[in-house]
Amino acid sequence: MAVALDNPSNFMTTRLRQAVNWGRKYSLWPLPFGTACCAIEFMSTVSSYNDISRFGAEAVRFSPRQSDLLLVAGTISYKQVPILKTIYAQMCEPKWVISMGACASTGGFYNNYSTLQGIDKIIPVDYYVAGCPPTPENLLSALVSLQDRVQNEGLVPSAERHQQVIR
Amino acid sequence: MSQKLVDSLKSEFGDKIVSVNNSCGDESVLVPGDSLPAVLKYLKESESCEQLTDVIGVDYPERTERFEVNYLLRSIANKSRINVKVAVEEGMDIPTVSDIYKSANWAEREVFDLYGVKFRNHPDLRRILCHHEFEGHALRKDYPIEQGQFLSTPEKLIDDIEYHGGAFRADEVEGEDNPFDLLNVNIGPSHPATHGALRIEVQLDGETIVKAKSEIGYLHRCFEKEAEDHTWSQVMPYTDRLNYVSSMLNNCIYASSVEKLLGVEVPQRAQIIRVIVSELSRIIDHLVCICANLVDIGALTNYWYFYNIREGIYYDIIEPLCGSRLTTNFARIGGLSHDLFDGFEDAVEKHLQKMEVAIKEVTGLIARNRIFLDRTVDVGVLTTDEALSYGYTGPCLRATGLDYDVRKHAPYSGYEDYKFDVPIGENGDTRDRIMVRMEEMYQSASIIRQGIQKLTPGPIALDNASVSLPPKESVYGSIEGVMNQFKLISEGIKVPAGEAYGYGEGANGELGFFCVSDGTGQPHRLKVRPPCFPIFSAFDEIIEGLMIADAIAILGSINIIAGELDR
C-alpha cells in the first residue's frame, strides 16, 4: 500500500484483494450455532465485559443468509448433523467456520452413540478453539487469527473452500 | 420416605404387593405390571401423592424379567415418597399411567426410547432423545456405547400434526386454495430464542397458535450411558455439563446422592461451602435466565446489567476457586476438591452488593413497565394442580402459589440451619416466574451471608480412605498413600450394592440422581431427574391458543437448559 501525501487530492494505492479483504476481516458476521455450554461462553464474549464488537464481529445473525462466519459452539449430536450441514450449505461465499470447544472439534469426552466425533467430519473448519468450554479470551484469540487468515486469502474463494461436504 | 404409604398399600392391595424393599431409607414396593395403574391411582387419590417425579428404567440382563421400571411418587402434603417398581420381560408391555399423571407421558417415552419397554395405550409412544432412524435401544447393557448412527432425514413433525385438524376456519371456505389455510411454522432447533437446541412446530392461524408440537433430543450426550462406563468419581465432570449455567449445584447434589448410597456424611465445613457455592450458582442461573428472557421480550439493557454481574462472579470468585468458569468440577464424593481461597469472603460480599444494586435497577426498569406487563401478566398461566401433574418443581411451581422447596421440605447439607423465605407467585404466569426468581436471588444472598458467618476451620473432605483421595504429601511420601490413590483412581470408589434417590433444589427445580450400584466401582445405573424435562413437557399445552410472540416469552421464563433436558 502506498499513500501519496504530497498530492493535493490525497490518493492511495493498494491491491483490490487487500482492500476487499481488509473490509471483510473487520466485518465478520457470525452465526452462532450454539447448542451447549460453549454457547453460554459465546454470550459472555458478546456481552459488555469482553465485547466482541471491538473486533467488528458483533452483528450476530441467526440467518445463514446474512452471515459469513459459522461459529459452531457446543456438542453436535447425530440428530443435529443434517441441520448443521444445511445451515452451512445455505451460507453464501465467502464463509468461514470456527469450531468452538472440545465437543465441536473432536467430540470431547463424549465418545458415544449420539455424539458426532468432530464437525470436520461433515463440514470444513478454519479454526479450532481448545477448551471445555473455551474462555471468551480464547474465542477472541481465534477470531483475531481468523482475521489474519481472511486478510491473506484470494478475492474469490479458493477451490479447496468449495470442497464437498464430506458425508 | 414413608412406612405409612407401604402399610396403606399393603392393606389395600394385599398379596398384589410382590415385595417390599428398603434401601438407604428409600421404601420401594414391587407390583405386577397389570395392577400398576390401580396402585398409582390409589396413591394419588387416597394418599395424596400429587406428583410422579420420574419414571426410571433399569436393565438387569441376567434376570428373566430383564427390565425394572421405577415410578417415583411424592406427596408434598404429607412429605413422603415411595418408589413403585414393575418388572418387565423383554417383549412384554405394561399399561401406561399417562392418564393418571401427565408427567408420565414424556417419561414413559424416554424409557421406551432407551430400553424398548412398551407402554400399552400410550397416546404417543415415539422416540424422544435418540433420533427416529436410530436402531436398537441405547441404554440396554448390550448396546455398545460407541456405536453411533447417522441420521439422514430429520423427523417431520408436520405429519404428526393432523393437517388442519381442529382448525376453526379451514372448513368455512371450500376448495383447494383456501385463503384461511393454517400455516405451519418450524421454530428451531437453531433459533435465537430457543436457548439451546429445541424444536417446536406450531400451526398458526394468523399469529395465534392453534396447535404445537415440540421435539427434544438435539443435545442428547448420553450422560447416563457415559456414567455406566466410568467410575463414580469420574462422573463428576459430566454433571457439570447437565445444567451448565449452574454446574456447582449439579456437582454438590450428585456428590450428596452418592454419599447417601455410601451412608457417609461430609464434614461441617464442606457442607457449608457446598451451600455457599450452590447458592452462588443459583444466583448465576437466575441472572442468566432472567436476562435472556428479557432480551427475548425486547429489553436489551437488562441483559448488560445482569450479565456483567455474572461475569464478575465468574472472574473473581468461581475461577479462582476452581480454575474454570463454567465447568467447575468442584465437589467430590465425600467432600470438596479444594478449600476456599484467601479473600473469598470479601469477594463474595462485594459481588453480592453489586448484584443487589443490579436487581434494583432491573426491577425498576421492568416492574411497572407497560410493555413488560402487557407481555407477561396472565400469559402462559398454569394452575397448581396442572403444574403438579406435569411434575413441575422449583421456581415455576412456586410461581403458581405452592411453596414447595426441597431445601425446606427435605433439608440436606444443613439447609435446616439457615433462615430464608420461599417466595411464591399468585397466578403462575410469566411475570410471576420472573419475579419469583428475582426474589430468590435476594434469599440466596442471605443464605450465602449466613454461611460465611458459620464458616469455621476444619477438614473439607471425609477422613475415610475408601472414599476420599489421600492428601498429596501422603501420596508422594508413603507407600500406603500411593496404593490408596492408585486403587481409588483405577478401580473407583466401591459403593455398596443398593439403590438410592438423592435429590436437592436445583436452580430450575428438583434435581435428582437415582443411583443403582452393584458393588463395583462403576454405577450400574445413574438416572438424572432433570427439572427441565417435566417442565418442558407442558410447553405445548401452555402455548396453544396464545400468540406466537408469547410462546417465546414463556419459553424464556420456564428456563430450559438443553444440556439438562436432553442429558
Rounded to a whole number of angstroms, the distance from the CA of B415 to the nearest CA of chain A is 29
CA A80 to CA A72: how far, in whole Å? 11
Contact residues, chain B, for A39 at CB < 8 Å: 196
Nearest by CB to A79, which of B218, B244, B326? B218
**What is the rounded distance in angstroms from the CA atom of residue B209 to the CA atom of residue B201?**
10
Q: What is the CB neighbour count within 10 angstroms for residue B458?
A: 11
- Do the Cβ atoms of B148 and A117 come within 8 Å? yes
Answer whether B218 touches A (CB < 8 Å). Answer: yes
Helix (H) or strand (E) holding B187: strand B183-187
Contact at CB, A112 and B148, closer than 8 angstroms:
yes
Which chain A residues have a beta carbon less than 8 Å from that of B192? Answer: 62
Cis status, amide bond into B189, omega within 30 of 0? yes
CB count within 10 Å of CB B156 equals 11
Residue type at B20 in one-letter notation = V
Please give, rounded to a whole number of angstroms, the shortest distance from the CA of B262 to a CA of chain A.
27
Which residues of chain B are within 8 Å of residue A40 when distances are taken between CB atoms? 244-245, 288, 326
C-alpha cell at B201: 412446530
- Residue A16: inside a domain, yes or no? no
Work out the minimum CA distance from A60 to partner chain B, whole angstroms: 10
What's the structural domain count of chain A? 1
Which residue blocks in B377-471 are alpha helix, DSSP H? 384-389, 394-398, 406-409, 430-454
* CB atoms B222 and A114 under 8 Å: yes
Per the structure block, which three cell numbers stand in for A24?
Answer: 471483510
Closest residue in A to B197 (Cα) is A35
Nearest residue to A90 (alpha-carbon basis) of A149, A160, A165 = A165
> Which bin fits A29, alpha (ψ -120 to 50), beta or left (φ > 0)?
beta
Decide: B317 and B348 in contact? Cβ < 8 Å: yes
- What is the structure's pLDDT at B170? 46
Q: What is the CATH number of the domain that holds A48?
A: 3.40.50.12280
| pLDDT attached to residue B273 | 92
Preferred mutation among B141, B220, B248, B315 to probe A, highest tally of A CBs within 10 A: B220
Angle at which helices B247-262 and B268-297 pack, to 10 degrees? 140
Cis amide leading into A94 (omega within 30): yes
Contacts of A111 in chain B (CB under 8 A): 145-146
What is the H or E stretch that residue B104 is in? helix B104-115
Q: Which of B115, B139, B137 is nearest to B229 (CA)?
A: B139
What DSSP element (H or E) covers A128? strand A127-129
A157 belongs to a structural domain: no
B244 min Cα distance to partner chain A (Å): 6
Helix (H, G, I), strand (E, B) or coil at B152: coil
Question: Which residue ranges make up each domain of chain B?
Answer: 3-120, 157-215, 223-566
Give CA–CA dist B246/B332, Å, rounded: 16
Would an 8 Å CB–CB cutoff place B189 in contact with chain A?
yes
Q: Residue A155: what pLDDT?
A: 79
Residue B207 C-alpha cell reads as 399469529
- Beta strands across the sheet bearing B208-215: B183-187, B199-205, B208-215
Between these two residues, B333 and A1, which has the higher pLDDT value? B333
Distance of alpha carbon B521 from alpha carbon B516, whole angstroms = 12
Residue A17 lies in a domain: no
**Residues in chain B where the model's pLDDT stays below 70:** 1, 157-181
Phi, psi (degrees; rounded to nearest 5) at B60 = -120, 90
Cis peptide upstream of residue A32 (ω within 30 degrees of 0): no
pLDDT of the residue at A85? 87
Of all residues in chain A, the percent with pLDDT exceeding 70 is 90
Tell me: the pLDDT tens digits for B121-141? Answer: 888 888 888 888 888 888 888
- b/e map of B356-366 (b: 16 or more CB within 10 Å)? eebbeebeeeb
| pLDDT band at residue A1 using 50, 70 and 90 as cut-offs | low
The confidence score (pLDDT) of residue B166 equals 44
- Chain A residues touching residue B323 (CB < 8 angstroms): none
Asked if A47 lies within 8 A of B145 by C-beta distance, the reply is: no
Nearest to B189 among A43, A47, A83 (CB): A83
CB-based contact, B556 to chain A, within 8 Å: no
Largest distance between two CA atoms of chain B: 88
CA B439 to chain centre: 21
Chain A contact for B335 (CB, 8 A cutoff)? no
Task: Name which of A36, A83, A133 is nearest B190 (Cβ-Cβ).
Answer: A83
Amino acid occupying residue B384? T
The interface residues of chain B toward chain A in range 112-131, judged by CB-CB distance below 8 A, are 129-131
**pLDDT tens digits for range A30-87:** 998 888 888 888 888 988 888 888 988 888 888 888 898 999 988 898 888 888 888 8
Q: Does B306 touch chain A (CB under 8 A)?
A: no
- Strand-pair category, A30-34 with A69-73: parallel
3-class secondary-structure state, position A92 = coil
Q: Are B431 and B376 in contact (CB under 8 A)?
A: yes
Let me know: does B537 contact B124? Beta carbons within 8 Å: no
* DSSP run (H or E) holding B348: helix B344-366
Ranges of beta strands (E only) in B301-415 are 331-332, 335-336
How much is the pLDDT for B50? 87
Chain B residues touching A43 at Cβ < 8 A? 288, 292, 307
- Residue among A79, A82, A83 whose CB faces B217 most closely: A79
The whole-number pLDDT of residue A163 equals 53
Q: Which CATH superfamily is domain B223-566 in?
A: Cytochrome-c3 Hydrogenase, chain B (1.10.645.10)
Look at the alpha carbons of B539, B212, B151, B134 in this order and tell me if their dihedral is positive or negative.
positive
Nearest chain A CA: its distance from B326 CA (Å): 7
DSSP code at position B461: B
The beta-carbon neighbor of A80 closest among B197, B327, B563 is B197
Instruction: Report chain A residues touching chain B, CB-CB < 8 A.
Output: 33-37, 39-41, 43-44, 47-50, 62, 74-75, 77-83, 87, 109-117, 132-133, 135, 167
| Long-range contacts, stretch B306-311, CB < 8 angstroms, 24+ apart | B306/B358, B306/B362, B307/A43, B307/A44, B307/A47, B307/A48, B307/A49, B308/A47, B308/A48, B308/A49, B308/B358, B309/B351, B309/B354, B309/B355, B309/B358, B310/A44, B310/B284, B311/A44, B311/A47, B311/A49, B311/A50
Write down the pLDDT at residue B253: 92
- Element at B226 (helix H, strand E): helix B223-228
Distance of residue A26 Cα from the nearest chain B Cα, in angstroms: 23
- Determine the structural domain holding residue A120 and report its residue range: 28-152
CA angle A107, A109, A114 (to 5 degrees): 55
Query: Residue B521: what residue type?
Result: G
Smallest CA-to-CA distance from B181 within B159, B201, B165, B157 is with B165
Confidence grade of residue A158 (pLDDT, cut at 50, 70, 90): low
| Chain B residue closest in CA terms to A61 | B192
For residue A159, tell me if it sits in a domain.
no
> Do B221 and A115 lie within an 8 Å CB cutoff?
yes
| Smallest CA–CA distance from B319 into chain A, residue | A135
Length of chain B equals 567
Q: Which residue of A has its CA nearest to B128?
A: A79
The answer to whether the CB of B529 falls within 8 A of the CB of B548 is no
CA atoms within 13 A on the CB side of B76: 22
Cα–Cα distance for residue pair B377/B239, rounded to 1 Å? 35
Q: Which helix (H) or strand (E) holds B69?
A: strand B67-75
**In this model, does residue A159 exceed pLDDT 60?**
no
A·B CB contacts under 8 A: 129
Residues of chain A contacting residue B156, judged by C-beta atoms under 8 Å apart: none
DSSP-derived letter for residue B497 is S
Distance (Å, rounded) from C-alpha A131 to C-alpha A103?
9
8 A C-beta contact, residue B352 and residue B508: no
Contact B372, B366 (CB under 8 A): yes
Nearest chain B residue to A75 by CA distance is B219
Q: Is residue A42 part of a domain?
A: yes
Give the contacts of B237 (CB within 8 A, at least 6 positions apart).
Answer: A109, B327, B329
B3-120 has CATH 3.30.460.80 classification: yes
Interface test with A, best of B132, B190, B314, B315 (most A CBs within 10 A): B190
